[in-house]
Amino acid sequence: MISSDHGAVYDRGYRPYEGPRGLRGAAMFALYKASIRRALGIRRSWRQKFAPFVLLGVVTIPAIVNVGIGYVTRDRLENTFEIVTYRDYVGVSSALLLFVALVAPDVMCPDRRQRVLPLMFARPLTGVDYVIAKVGAIGSILFAFSFLPQVVLFLGNMLVSDSASEYFTGHLDVLWKIPVSVLALAMYYAVVSVAIASLTDRRIVAGAAVIGLLLITSIASGILVGDLNRGEGSIAALINIWVLPLYLRDLVFLGNIDPDSPLTEVSNGGLLAVVTYLAILLLGFGVLLRRYRWVER
């Protein structure tokens, strides 16, 4: 201690840590939390907070409008007013695409560009843990941002209905259909976007690649389906990576492919959609594990 008439300066030295200590699970959870904080702009400037919370606002607007109009017209219309159904509301907003194109590169690319990975892998963390934490973080945010508006819609519809309890008991099925289909959508977009972002250390390139891949496959699918089969449906619809999880949504909500979809006339279209969905998930995880396998060598 150095002391004078005006005060004292203490050298606190070094205090060893003797508390509890986790291993892989703790490190993975820490990375998951740090990635969520980064994606949502927490502990960052307001500019980084702008995109996620604008997205949340945008995806919630249809639910608020639907509930608001339902409330205003509740005494004038015989049936419940509905501009958006629970099924349509799963993945309805292309704001999700913009969001993953912005956030997935921001969560992945700086680790490579700023060479933070050696520091991370000097901890009790493996490449698999890293991939799970990153995909989990993006997937969790996508799930939350897709699920919360559905909660607003459900609670709003219930409250403006003639009988809240009747509405609740009459819509029990959506209580599992919504989370299952939203989970399928969130997992899918998370894996695809994180896998693409892992291939470069430049955020702008990764963002453009995410949007480009989804748009190009969407356009290519549209051209092939339109030209080849004249509205009769085509297996080429499966190359549209953007809407592929919506076929799973239809299977969850309807039990079959939507009759208006380009897959409707395709034999075993639903099964093919599920297989393609799983194949793309596996491909995405394969890319990610290969990308981070050097940690295990």
Partner 1 sequence: MEATSLLRLDGLTKRYPGVTALDGLTIDLPRGLVGLVGANGAGKTTMFRLLLGISKPTEGTIEVCGINVAMDPIGVRSRLGYMPEHDCLPLDQTAADVVSTFGELSGLPARAARQRASDVLDLVGLDEARFRPISGFSTGMRQRTKLAQALVGDPELVLLDEPTAGLDPLGREEMLALVARLGSFGISVLMATHLLDDVQQVCHHVVMIDAGRLVVSGATDSLLERTGFVTVDVGPRSEELVAALSKIGLPAVAGELLVEVTVDGEHEMDTLRDVIADLGLPLYRLTTRLTSLDEVFLRLATSPARA
Q: Which residues bind partner 1 (CB under 8 A)?
A: 12-17, 19-24, 26-27, 30-31, 33-34, 43-44, 110, 114-116, 118-126, 294-295, 297
Query: From the CB of 45, what's the least distance to partner 1, in Å?
Result: 9
53 or 294: CB nearest partner 1: 294
Closest by alpha carbon to 67, among 135, 150, 143, 2?
150
110 or 156: CB nearest partner 1: 110
27 or 236: CB nearest partner 1: 27
Q: Residue 84 burial by CB count (10 A; 0-12/13-18/19+): exposed, middle or buried? A: middle
| Two tokens, residue 36 | 């969520």
Q: What is the DSSP letter of 83?
A: S
Query: From the CB of 108, what's the least distance to partner 1, in Å?
Result: 13
The Cα-based distances of 277 to 94, 97, 162, 176, 244 in angstroms read 19, 17, 40, 20, 7
Query: From the CB of 232, what's the least distance to partner 1, in Å?
Result: 52
125 or 287: CB nearest partner 1: 125
Query: From the CB of 272, what's the least distance to partner 1, in Å?
Result: 41
DSSP 232-280: S--GGGGG-TTTHHHHHHHHHHHSS--TTSTTTTSTTHHHHHHHHHHHH
Query: From the CB of 199, what's the least distance to partner 1, in Å?
Result: 20
34 or 58: CB nearest partner 1: 34
Distance CA 10, CA 175 (A): 59
Distance CA 91, CA 87 (A): 9
Closest by alpha carbon to 282, among 192, 172, 162, 155?
192
Query: From the CB of 95, what's the least distance to partner 1, in Å?
Result: 24
Work out the number of other CB atoms within 10 angstroms of the CB of residue 187: 20
Query: From the CB of 96, what's the least distance to partner 1, in Å?
Result: 25
3-class secondary structure, 93: coil
HSE toward the beta carbon, residue 62, CA cutoff 13 A: 20
Query: From the CB of 295, what's the least distance to partner 1, in Å?
Result: 6
Closest by alpha carbon to 146, among 80, 214, 100?
100
133 or 241: CB nearest partner 1: 133
Distance CA 65, CA 57 (A): 12
110 or 222: CB nearest partner 1: 110
Residue 9 β-bridge partners:
2
133 or 182: CB nearest partner 1: 133
